[in-house]
Amino acid sequence: MRNDPEVRQVVNTYALGLPRMPTAGRSGELLGRGTGSSLEFQEYREYLPGDDIRHVDWAAYARSDALVVRMYREEISPRTEILFDVSRSMTTGEGAKTHLTRQLTAVFAQLCGRIGGRPTLIALNDDRPLVPWGPEGVDRLESQPFDAVGNLAELLDAHAVPLKPQAVRIVISDFLFPHDPGSLIRRLASGASALWVIQLLTAWEADPTELGGRRLVDIEGGRSEERRVGKECRSRWSPYH
């Protein structure tokens, strides 16, 4: 996907925004907004119990009889986790959702790499536990099958998703599986420095039309039900359920 023209155009046009707080560690190439131990002075602030006394400005104390500490900017390597849905429901829309999922994953991975980060790609498949990819995973996207029958909620329940603390967490899915949206978002956001959620839907999935009597088949589990898709069904429809 690196050579996809649309991916290259986006990567060459945009930059990945960082959260206000540092995302991980003190060993990167990107100058962050947190305070740490790099050589660039940021500001003074009043000394608080527990502060490292090595950061106390004793010269300022001698002049003003007030304890202050010198704050420095921290160099960080942003940790980015890209979770992308490879379940069967992502194959609807004549492959459009599948193609866009690959493109978006490649875009975010390369944008992260451009600011000194090392992105982690996590295909939400049926492996237990899931096996994360490094930046080289971008080259595996085109061959990644979209045939999983499980879903993100089940993976979280099984503790199969290897999430790291203080990461920028990006989730790409259609979210077309039974779940409580608020609970799922809270679980995904737990421990993250930022959470970005992208929902991909076909036009019909986003705004289903009335179809009358139909046999509805679960593309992932294979279950089927006879239902009438009318006004009542449409009014209860939510792309999150």
For the stretch 84-131, pLDDT in tens is: 999 999 999 899 999 999 999 999 999 988 877 889 999 999 998 999
Is the full-model pTM beyond 0.85? no
CA atoms within 13 A on the CB side of 64: 9
Amino acid at 138: V
> What value does the CA radius of gyration of the chain take, rounded to a whole number of Å?
23
pLDDT > 80? residue 17: no
Q: How far apart are CA 232 and CA 138, in angstroms?
A: 43
- 56 by Cβ neighbours in 10 Å (0-12 / 13-18 / 19+) ranks as middle
| Per-residue model confidence (pLDDT) at position 140 | 95
pLDDT at 40 over 50: yes
Task: Indicate if the pLDDT at residue 144 is higher than 90.
Answer: yes
Measured N-to-C along each axis, helices 5-13 and 96-114 cross at an angle, to the nearest 10 degrees, of 40
Q: HEC profile for the chain? A: CCCCHHHHHHHHHCCCCCCCCCCCCCCCCEEEEEECCCCCEEEEEECCCCCCHHHECHHHHHHHCCCEEEEEEEEECCCEEEEEECEHHHHCCCCHHHHHHHHHHHHHHHHHHHCCCCCEEEEECCCCCCCCECHHHHHHHHHCCCCECCCHHHHHHCCCCCCCCCCEEEEEECCCCCCCHHHHHHHHHCCCCEEEEEECCCHHHHCCCCCEEEEEECCCCCCEEEEEECHHHHHHCCCCC
Contact 100, 76 (CB under 8 A): no
Which residue(s) pair with 30 in the sheet? Answer: 76
pLDDT per residue as tens digits for the range 182-241: 999 999 999 998 899 999 999 988 887 776 666 666 666 666 677 666 666 554 444 443
| Structure tokens that stand for 70 in this block | 């010198």
Residue 11: band (very low, low, confident or very high) from pLDDT cuts 50, 70, 90: very high
- Closest to 128 measured CA to CA, from 102, 146, 154, 105: 154
What is the C-alpha to C-alpha distance for residues 82 and 1, in angstroms, rounded to an integer? 15
Q: What integer pLDDT is reported at residue 25 of this predicted model? A: 42
